[in-house]
Amino acid sequence: KATKYFNRRDAFFSTVNKKIRVAGDSKYWIFRSFFWKSEEVFDNLGLDSLILLKSTKLFLSISLVVSIITLVILLPVHIISGQSNHTLLIMTSFSVIPEKSNFLWLHLILIYFVTFIVYAALYHEWKDVVKFRQKYFLADSVSACSLLFSDLGNNSDNESWEEVIKEKMLKIVGHSDLLLVYVLKDVTCIKELIKEHNRLVSRRYSSEDQEVDPFNSNLTNDRARIYYNESESSTADEAISKNYSKLIVVARAVAETPLNAVIVIVSNVALSQTFRCTSLSLSKNHVRVSVLPEQTAIIWRNLVLNKNIKKFNTGLIMVLTVIAILFWAVPFTGVAAITKILPGSKESSIHIESKGLSIFIQFISNTLIPLILIQLILYLEHLIFKKLSTYENHVSYVAAEFSILKKMCVFNAINTFFIYTISSSILEFAQQIIEKPIRITIALASAIP
Protein backbone atom coordinates (compact mmCIF):
# COMPACT_ATOMS: atom_id res chain seq x y z
CA LYS A 1 0.00 0.00 0.00
CA ALA A 2 1.35 3.37 -1.01
CA THR A 3 2.28 5.80 1.72
CA LYS A 4 0.02 8.83 2.00
CA TYR A 5 1.47 12.20 2.91
CA PHE A 6 -0.81 14.66 4.59
CA ASN A 7 1.42 17.68 4.07
CA ARG A 8 3.92 18.72 1.43
CA ARG A 9 6.79 19.00 3.89
CA ASP A 10 6.72 15.29 4.76
CA ALA A 11 6.49 14.41 1.09
CA PHE A 12 9.45 16.68 0.33
CA PHE A 13 11.59 15.17 3.11
CA SER A 14 10.65 11.67 2.03
CA THR A 15 11.74 12.47 -1.52
CA VAL A 16 15.07 13.71 -0.19
CA ASN A 17 15.58 10.51 1.79
CA LYS A 18 14.64 8.20 -1.08
CA LYS A 19 16.37 9.87 -4.01
CA ILE A 20 19.48 11.27 -2.34
CA ARG A 21 19.56 8.53 0.29
CA VAL A 22 19.96 10.72 3.34
CA ALA A 23 20.51 8.51 6.37
CA GLY A 24 18.83 9.11 9.70
CA ASP A 25 16.01 11.40 10.63
CA SER A 26 15.00 13.84 7.92
CA LYS A 27 14.87 16.75 10.38
CA TYR A 28 18.69 16.91 10.29
CA TRP A 29 18.84 17.34 6.51
CA ILE A 30 19.40 21.09 6.86
CA PHE A 31 22.93 20.49 8.23
CA ARG A 32 23.80 17.66 5.85
CA SER A 33 22.91 19.84 2.88
CA PHE A 34 26.50 21.15 3.06
CA PHE A 35 27.69 17.83 1.68
CA TRP A 36 25.14 17.35 -1.11
CA LYS A 37 26.34 17.80 -4.67
CA SER A 38 24.45 20.32 -6.78
CA GLU A 39 24.28 17.91 -9.72
CA GLU A 40 22.74 15.23 -7.52
CA VAL A 41 20.09 17.54 -6.12
CA PHE A 42 19.27 18.95 -9.56
CA ASP A 43 19.03 15.55 -11.26
CA ASN A 44 16.93 13.92 -8.54
CA LEU A 45 14.84 16.72 -7.06
CA GLY A 46 14.81 19.39 -9.73
CA LEU A 47 15.61 23.09 -9.96
CA ASP A 48 13.10 24.15 -7.30
CA SER A 49 14.75 22.04 -4.60
CA LEU A 50 18.21 23.17 -5.69
CA ILE A 51 17.26 26.83 -5.20
CA LEU A 52 15.77 26.03 -1.81
CA LEU A 53 18.83 24.14 -0.59
CA LYS A 54 21.24 26.76 -1.92
CA SER A 55 19.36 29.49 -0.06
CA THR A 56 19.52 27.51 3.18
CA LYS A 57 23.19 26.73 2.71
CA LEU A 58 23.95 30.41 2.08
CA PHE A 59 22.40 31.54 5.36
CA LEU A 60 24.08 28.75 7.28
CA SER A 61 27.49 29.58 5.80
CA ILE A 62 27.26 33.26 6.66
CA SER A 63 26.07 32.60 10.20
CA LEU A 64 28.75 30.00 10.81
CA VAL A 65 31.56 32.30 9.68
CA VAL A 66 30.26 35.26 11.67
CA SER A 67 29.77 33.12 14.78
CA ILE A 68 33.32 31.75 14.67
CA ILE A 69 34.90 35.18 14.12
CA THR A 70 32.82 36.75 16.87
CA LEU A 71 33.47 34.12 19.52
CA VAL A 72 37.10 33.33 18.67
CA ILE A 73 38.47 36.79 17.84
CA LEU A 74 36.21 39.64 18.92
CA LEU A 75 35.25 38.38 22.34
CA PRO A 76 38.89 37.90 23.49
CA VAL A 77 39.79 41.30 22.05
CA HIS A 78 37.15 43.04 24.16
CA ILE A 79 38.10 41.09 27.27
CA ILE A 80 41.81 41.86 26.85
CA SER A 81 41.12 45.54 26.25
CA GLY A 82 39.37 45.80 29.60
CA GLN A 83 35.79 46.06 28.37
CA SER A 84 34.55 42.76 29.81
CA ASN A 85 31.92 44.54 31.91
CA HIS A 86 29.87 45.28 28.79
CA THR A 87 26.82 43.26 27.83
CA LEU A 88 27.23 40.40 25.38
CA LEU A 89 25.59 42.36 22.56
CA ILE A 90 28.04 45.23 22.99
CA MET A 91 31.05 42.96 23.43
CA THR A 92 30.42 41.10 20.18
CA SER A 93 29.65 44.20 18.13
CA PHE A 94 32.27 45.46 15.69
CA SER A 95 31.05 49.00 16.28
CA VAL A 96 32.17 49.11 19.92
CA ILE A 97 35.75 50.35 19.66
CA PRO A 98 37.16 51.01 23.13
CA GLU A 99 38.75 54.39 23.78
CA LYS A 100 42.54 54.36 23.38
CA SER A 101 42.35 50.86 21.96
CA ASN A 102 45.36 49.31 20.23
CA PHE A 103 43.03 46.94 18.35
CA LEU A 104 41.32 49.50 16.13
CA TRP A 105 43.03 48.14 13.03
CA LEU A 106 41.75 44.65 13.92
CA HIS A 107 38.18 45.91 14.02
CA LEU A 108 38.55 47.47 10.59
CA ILE A 109 40.07 44.35 9.07
CA LEU A 110 37.33 42.16 10.50
CA ILE A 111 34.57 44.42 9.20
CA TYR A 112 35.86 44.30 5.63
CA PHE A 113 36.82 40.64 5.91
CA VAL A 114 33.36 39.51 7.01
CA THR A 115 31.69 41.72 4.41
CA PHE A 116 33.87 40.12 1.74
CA ILE A 117 32.97 36.63 2.99
CA VAL A 118 29.27 37.42 2.89
CA TYR A 119 29.30 38.64 -0.70
CA ALA A 120 31.69 35.88 -1.79
CA ALA A 121 29.31 33.28 -0.37
CA LEU A 122 26.37 35.00 -2.05
CA TYR A 123 28.13 35.07 -5.41
CA HIS A 124 29.29 31.45 -5.16
CA GLU A 125 25.90 29.99 -4.28
CA TRP A 126 23.84 32.01 -6.72
CA LYS A 127 26.29 31.56 -9.57
CA ASP A 128 25.69 27.85 -9.18
CA VAL A 129 21.93 28.41 -9.17
CA VAL A 130 22.10 30.49 -12.35
CA LYS A 131 24.15 27.78 -14.06
CA PHE A 132 21.56 25.12 -13.31
CA ARG A 133 18.72 27.45 -14.28
CA GLN A 134 20.26 27.66 -17.73
CA LYS A 135 20.72 23.90 -17.78
CA TYR A 136 17.03 23.56 -16.97
CA PHE A 137 16.02 26.03 -19.65
CA LEU A 138 18.08 24.35 -22.38
CA ALA A 139 17.25 20.77 -21.38
CA ASP A 140 14.01 20.79 -23.37
CA SER A 141 13.96 23.50 -26.00
CA VAL A 142 10.41 22.60 -27.03
CA SER A 143 8.55 23.27 -23.82
CA ALA A 144 10.80 24.05 -20.86
CA CYS A 145 11.37 27.79 -21.24
CA SER A 146 9.10 30.34 -19.62
CA LEU A 147 9.42 34.09 -19.36
CA LEU A 148 7.07 36.87 -18.34
CA PHE A 149 5.84 39.73 -20.47
CA SER A 150 3.55 41.89 -18.36
CA ASP A 151 3.38 45.31 -19.99
CA LEU A 152 0.55 45.14 -22.51
CA GLY A 153 0.11 48.90 -22.66
CA ASN A 154 -3.13 50.86 -22.51
CA ASN A 155 -4.50 49.77 -25.90
CA SER A 156 -5.82 53.31 -26.39
CA ASP A 157 -6.84 52.58 -30.00
CA ASN A 158 -9.28 49.91 -28.79
CA GLU A 159 -7.72 47.33 -31.06
CA SER A 160 -8.33 43.64 -30.62
CA TRP A 161 -6.24 42.29 -27.76
CA GLU A 162 -5.25 39.39 -29.96
CA GLU A 163 -3.74 41.75 -32.52
CA VAL A 164 -2.00 43.86 -29.86
CA ILE A 165 -0.41 40.81 -28.29
CA LYS A 166 0.59 39.30 -31.63
CA GLU A 167 2.24 42.55 -32.68
CA LYS A 168 4.25 42.74 -29.45
CA MET A 169 5.19 39.07 -29.59
CA LEU A 170 6.25 39.15 -33.24
CA LYS A 171 8.81 41.84 -32.40
CA ILE A 172 10.42 39.35 -30.02
CA VAL A 173 9.84 36.01 -31.71
CA GLY A 174 10.14 37.14 -35.31
CA HIS A 175 8.13 34.24 -36.77
CA SER A 176 4.37 34.31 -37.22
CA ASP A 177 4.12 30.52 -37.45
CA LEU A 178 5.58 30.13 -33.96
CA LEU A 179 2.74 31.94 -32.25
CA LEU A 180 -0.76 30.95 -31.23
CA VAL A 181 -2.90 33.12 -28.97
CA TYR A 182 -5.79 31.63 -27.02
CA VAL A 183 -8.19 34.15 -25.48
CA LEU A 184 -10.85 32.70 -23.17
CA LYS A 185 -13.16 35.51 -22.12
CA ASP A 186 -15.81 33.00 -21.06
CA VAL A 187 -16.74 29.40 -21.68
CA THR A 188 -18.57 30.20 -24.90
CA CYS A 189 -15.23 31.21 -26.41
CA ILE A 190 -14.01 27.62 -26.16
CA LYS A 191 -15.71 26.88 -29.48
CA GLU A 192 -13.70 29.57 -31.27
CA LEU A 193 -10.56 28.39 -29.52
CA ILE A 194 -11.15 24.82 -30.69
CA LYS A 195 -11.84 25.89 -34.25
CA GLU A 196 -8.67 27.97 -34.41
CA HIS A 197 -6.62 25.19 -32.86
CA ASN A 198 -7.93 22.54 -35.25
CA ARG A 199 -7.44 24.81 -38.24
CA LEU A 200 -3.82 25.45 -37.34
CA VAL A 201 -3.10 21.81 -36.52
CA SER A 202 -4.68 20.75 -39.81
CA ARG A 203 -2.50 23.15 -41.77
CA ARG A 204 0.60 22.11 -39.85
CA TYR A 205 0.14 18.40 -40.41
CA SER A 206 -1.37 18.51 -43.88
CA SER A 207 0.84 17.25 -46.70
CA GLU A 208 -0.52 19.92 -49.05
CA ASP A 209 -0.37 23.68 -48.74
CA GLN A 210 -4.10 24.10 -48.92
CA GLU A 211 -6.76 24.86 -46.37
CA VAL A 212 -8.21 21.77 -44.71
CA ASP A 213 -11.59 21.48 -43.06
CA PRO A 214 -10.92 21.79 -39.30
CA PHE A 215 -13.38 19.02 -38.54
CA ASN A 216 -12.14 16.68 -41.26
CA SER A 217 -11.26 13.29 -39.77
CA ASN A 218 -8.35 12.74 -42.18
CA LEU A 219 -5.75 14.40 -39.96
CA THR A 220 -2.28 13.03 -39.38
CA ASN A 221 -2.35 13.89 -35.68
CA ASP A 222 -5.80 12.89 -34.45
CA ARG A 223 -5.05 13.35 -30.74
CA ALA A 224 -4.47 17.06 -31.31
CA ARG A 225 -8.01 17.55 -32.62
CA ILE A 226 -10.66 18.88 -30.28
CA TYR A 227 -14.40 18.24 -30.48
CA TYR A 228 -16.96 20.52 -28.92
CA ASN A 229 -20.70 20.36 -28.29
CA GLU A 230 -22.69 23.57 -28.01
CA SER A 231 -23.63 24.41 -24.42
CA GLU A 232 -27.09 25.59 -23.44
CA SER A 233 -25.86 26.99 -20.12
CA SER A 234 -26.54 30.64 -19.43
CA THR A 235 -24.06 31.35 -16.64
CA ALA A 236 -20.31 30.88 -16.57
CA ASP A 237 -20.40 28.53 -13.57
CA GLU A 238 -22.98 26.30 -15.19
CA ALA A 239 -21.03 26.32 -18.43
CA ILE A 240 -17.83 25.35 -16.63
CA SER A 241 -19.65 22.55 -14.84
CA LYS A 242 -21.36 21.14 -17.94
CA ASN A 243 -18.36 21.56 -20.22
CA TYR A 244 -15.72 20.30 -17.82
CA SER A 245 -14.93 17.27 -19.97
CA LYS A 246 -14.48 19.54 -22.99
CA LEU A 247 -12.29 21.84 -20.94
CA ILE A 248 -10.08 18.86 -20.11
CA VAL A 249 -9.63 18.18 -23.81
CA VAL A 250 -8.85 21.83 -24.46
CA ALA A 251 -6.24 21.89 -21.69
CA ARG A 252 -4.58 18.75 -23.00
CA ALA A 253 -4.56 20.00 -26.58
CA VAL A 254 -3.07 23.34 -25.57
CA ALA A 255 -0.36 21.59 -23.56
CA GLU A 256 0.48 19.32 -26.51
CA THR A 257 0.12 21.87 -29.28
CA PRO A 258 2.84 21.56 -31.96
CA LEU A 259 3.68 25.25 -31.75
CA ASN A 260 6.70 26.86 -30.17
CA ALA A 261 4.81 29.64 -28.41
CA VAL A 262 1.43 29.46 -26.73
CA ILE A 263 -0.36 32.25 -24.89
CA VAL A 264 -3.51 31.67 -22.87
CA ILE A 265 -5.35 34.70 -21.50
CA VAL A 266 -8.37 34.19 -19.28
CA SER A 267 -10.60 37.00 -18.05
CA ASN A 268 -12.78 34.77 -15.87
CA VAL A 269 -11.04 33.88 -12.60
CA ALA A 270 -13.07 30.71 -12.02
CA LEU A 271 -12.35 29.53 -15.54
CA SER A 272 -8.67 30.34 -15.03
CA GLN A 273 -8.43 28.17 -11.92
CA THR A 274 -10.33 25.32 -13.57
CA PHE A 275 -8.16 25.47 -16.66
CA ARG A 276 -4.98 25.61 -14.59
CA CYS A 277 -5.92 22.59 -12.44
CA THR A 278 -6.98 20.65 -15.52
CA SER A 279 -3.68 21.36 -17.24
CA LEU A 280 -1.73 20.36 -14.15
CA SER A 281 -3.54 17.05 -13.83
CA LEU A 282 -3.37 16.03 -17.48
CA SER A 283 -0.17 17.35 -18.98
CA LYS A 284 2.50 14.69 -19.32
CA ASN A 285 5.29 17.25 -18.96
CA HIS A 286 3.88 18.90 -15.82
CA VAL A 287 2.01 21.66 -17.72
CA ARG A 288 3.73 23.96 -20.12
CA VAL A 289 0.97 26.52 -20.50
CA SER A 290 0.24 29.18 -17.92
CA VAL A 291 -3.08 30.94 -17.45
CA LEU A 292 -3.44 34.38 -15.89
CA PRO A 293 -6.68 36.25 -15.14
CA GLU A 294 -7.86 39.73 -16.11
CA GLN A 295 -5.59 40.17 -19.14
CA THR A 296 -2.94 41.87 -17.00
CA ALA A 297 -0.06 39.69 -18.08
CA ILE A 298 0.85 36.91 -20.46
CA ILE A 299 3.22 33.97 -20.35
CA TRP A 300 5.11 32.61 -23.31
CA ARG A 301 7.43 29.67 -23.82
CA ASN A 302 10.54 28.84 -25.78
CA LEU A 303 11.86 32.39 -26.05
CA VAL A 304 15.10 31.94 -24.11
CA LEU A 305 17.58 31.94 -26.97
CA ASN A 306 21.32 31.29 -26.69
CA LYS A 307 22.14 34.92 -27.45
CA ASN A 308 20.10 36.00 -24.44
CA ILE A 309 21.71 33.69 -21.89
CA LYS A 310 24.44 36.17 -20.93
CA LYS A 311 21.92 38.97 -20.52
CA PHE A 312 19.67 36.73 -18.47
CA ASN A 313 22.55 35.69 -16.21
CA THR A 314 23.61 39.29 -15.69
CA GLY A 315 20.08 40.46 -15.00
CA LEU A 316 19.41 37.69 -12.51
CA ILE A 317 22.63 38.35 -10.61
CA MET A 318 21.81 42.07 -10.50
CA VAL A 319 18.38 41.35 -9.06
CA LEU A 320 19.84 39.04 -6.44
CA THR A 321 22.46 41.66 -5.56
CA VAL A 322 19.73 44.23 -4.99
CA ILE A 323 17.91 41.73 -2.77
CA ALA A 324 21.14 41.17 -0.83
CA ILE A 325 21.61 44.91 -0.34
CA LEU A 326 18.05 45.21 0.92
CA PHE A 327 18.61 42.26 3.23
CA TRP A 328 21.54 44.04 4.83
CA ALA A 329 20.44 47.65 4.74
CA VAL A 330 16.70 47.82 5.41
CA PRO A 331 16.35 45.97 8.74
CA PHE A 332 19.33 47.54 10.43
CA THR A 333 18.80 51.06 9.15
CA GLY A 334 15.28 50.83 10.53
CA VAL A 335 16.57 49.59 13.87
CA ALA A 336 19.16 52.37 14.03
CA ALA A 337 16.40 54.93 13.51
CA ILE A 338 14.08 53.30 16.04
CA THR A 339 16.73 53.04 18.76
CA LYS A 340 17.36 56.80 18.52
CA ILE A 341 13.92 57.51 19.98
CA LEU A 342 13.62 54.54 22.35
CA PRO A 343 14.00 55.19 26.08
CA GLY A 344 17.52 54.50 27.23
CA SER A 345 19.39 55.98 24.29
CA LYS A 346 21.34 59.23 24.63
CA GLU A 347 19.34 60.93 21.88
CA SER A 348 15.96 60.00 23.34
CA SER A 349 13.86 62.61 25.11
CA ILE A 350 12.01 59.84 26.97
CA HIS A 351 13.64 58.49 30.10
CA ILE A 352 12.59 55.53 32.22
CA GLU A 353 13.68 55.30 35.84
CA SER A 354 13.40 51.52 35.97
CA LYS A 355 16.75 50.13 34.86
CA GLY A 356 15.28 46.67 34.22
CA LEU A 357 12.57 48.02 31.92
CA SER A 358 15.10 50.15 30.06
CA ILE A 359 17.36 47.13 29.48
CA PHE A 360 14.34 45.10 28.31
CA ILE A 361 13.35 47.78 25.78
CA GLN A 362 16.89 47.94 24.44
CA PHE A 363 16.95 44.15 24.15
CA ILE A 364 13.70 44.20 22.14
CA SER A 365 15.05 46.90 19.83
CA ASN A 366 18.32 45.05 19.28
CA THR A 367 16.91 41.54 18.75
CA LEU A 368 13.18 41.29 18.12
CA ILE A 369 12.79 44.23 15.73
CA PRO A 370 15.64 43.13 13.43
CA LEU A 371 14.22 39.60 13.49
CA ILE A 372 10.79 40.81 12.39
CA LEU A 373 12.26 42.96 9.64
CA ILE A 374 14.44 40.10 8.40
CA GLN A 375 11.40 37.83 8.27
CA LEU A 376 9.65 40.43 6.12
CA ILE A 377 12.62 40.48 3.74
CA LEU A 378 12.61 36.68 3.61
CA TYR A 379 8.89 36.71 2.90
CA LEU A 380 9.48 39.08 0.00
CA GLU A 381 12.08 36.61 -1.25
CA HIS A 382 9.46 33.89 -0.92
CA LEU A 383 7.05 35.91 -3.06
CA ILE A 384 9.73 36.42 -5.71
CA PHE A 385 10.47 32.72 -5.99
CA LYS A 386 6.76 31.96 -5.86
CA LYS A 387 6.40 34.07 -9.00
CA LEU A 388 9.37 32.32 -10.58
CA SER A 389 7.86 28.94 -9.76
CA THR A 390 4.60 30.07 -11.38
CA TYR A 391 6.37 31.09 -14.57
CA GLU A 392 8.31 27.83 -14.69
CA ASN A 393 5.34 25.70 -13.57
CA HIS A 394 7.02 24.45 -10.38
CA VAL A 395 4.03 24.32 -8.08
CA SER A 396 5.83 22.07 -5.59
CA TYR A 397 8.52 24.67 -4.90
CA VAL A 398 6.11 27.16 -3.34
CA ALA A 399 4.96 24.90 -0.51
CA ALA A 400 8.38 23.40 0.15
CA GLU A 401 10.17 26.75 0.22
CA PHE A 402 7.56 28.32 2.48
CA SER A 403 7.84 25.36 4.86
CA ILE A 404 11.59 25.92 5.08
CA LEU A 405 11.04 29.61 5.83
CA LYS A 406 8.89 28.67 8.80
CA LYS A 407 11.56 26.24 9.98
CA MET A 408 14.23 28.93 9.58
CA CYS A 409 12.32 31.38 11.79
CA VAL A 410 13.88 29.85 14.92
CA PHE A 411 17.24 29.64 13.21
CA ASN A 412 17.08 33.34 12.29
CA ALA A 413 16.56 34.28 15.93
CA ILE A 414 20.19 33.26 16.42
CA ASN A 415 21.26 34.43 12.99
CA THR A 416 19.89 37.93 13.56
CA PHE A 417 22.04 38.47 16.62
CA PHE A 418 25.30 38.00 14.71
CA ILE A 419 24.29 39.77 11.51
CA TYR A 420 22.96 42.72 13.48
CA THR A 421 26.33 43.27 15.13
CA ILE A 422 28.08 43.38 11.75
CA SER A 423 25.64 45.73 10.05
CA SER A 424 25.34 48.09 12.99
CA SER A 425 29.11 48.25 13.21
CA ILE A 426 29.46 49.41 9.62
CA LEU A 427 26.91 52.17 10.20
CA GLU A 428 28.50 53.24 13.48
CA PHE A 429 32.01 53.23 12.08
CA ALA A 430 30.91 55.28 9.07
CA GLN A 431 29.39 57.80 11.46
CA GLN A 432 32.64 57.99 13.41
CA ILE A 433 34.61 58.67 10.23
CA ILE A 434 32.23 61.46 9.22
CA GLU A 435 32.05 63.14 12.64
CA LYS A 436 35.60 62.68 13.90
CA PRO A 437 37.94 62.06 10.95
CA ILE A 438 40.99 63.56 12.61
CA ARG A 439 40.68 61.46 15.77
CA ILE A 440 40.21 58.27 13.79
CA THR A 441 43.22 59.07 11.62
CA ILE A 442 45.42 59.66 14.66
CA ALA A 443 44.16 56.47 16.29
CA LEU A 444 44.93 54.47 13.16
CA ALA A 445 48.41 55.93 12.97
CA SER A 446 49.13 55.19 16.62
CA ALA A 447 47.90 51.62 16.26
CA ILE A 448 50.55 50.82 13.65
CA PRO A 449 53.64 49.25 15.33
**How large is the average pLDDT for residues 219-235?**
37
Integer Cα distance of 110 and 82 in angstroms: 20
Beta strands at 179-184 and 291-293: parallel, antiparallel or unpaired: unpaired
Residue-wise pLDDT tens digits, 270-279: 444 444 444 4
* Long-range contacts at 160-169 (CB < 8 A, ≥ 24 apart): 161/265, 161/295, 165/263, 165/265, 165/298, 169/261, 169/263, 169/300
Question: Across the chain, what does the average pLDDT equal?
Answer: 51
Domains and CATH numbers, the chain: 36-138 (no CATH), 142-211+222-296 (3.30.70.330), 309-344+352-447 (no CATH)
Does residue 51 or residue 337 have the better pLDDT? 51
Per the CB < 8 A criterion, the answer to whether 400 and 49 are in contact is yes
- Which segments of 228-267 does DSSP mark as H helices, in order? 236-242, 244-255
Residue-wise pLDDT tens digits, 155-165: 456 565 555 55
Query: What pLDDT does residue 39 have?
Result: 78
Give 266-313 as a DSSP string: ES-HHHHHHHHHHHHHH-TTS----EEETTS-EEEES---GGGHHHHH
At 282, the amino acid letter reads: L
Strands (DSSP E) found in 329-444: none
Cα–Cα separations (whole angstroms), residue 49 to 12, 362, 399? 9, 39, 11
At 322, the amino acid letter reads: V
Residue-wise pLDDT tens digits, 107-147: 556 655 665 666 666 667 666 766 776 566 555 433 333 33
The shares of helix, strand and coil residues in the chain, as percent rounded to the nearest 5, are 65, 5, 30
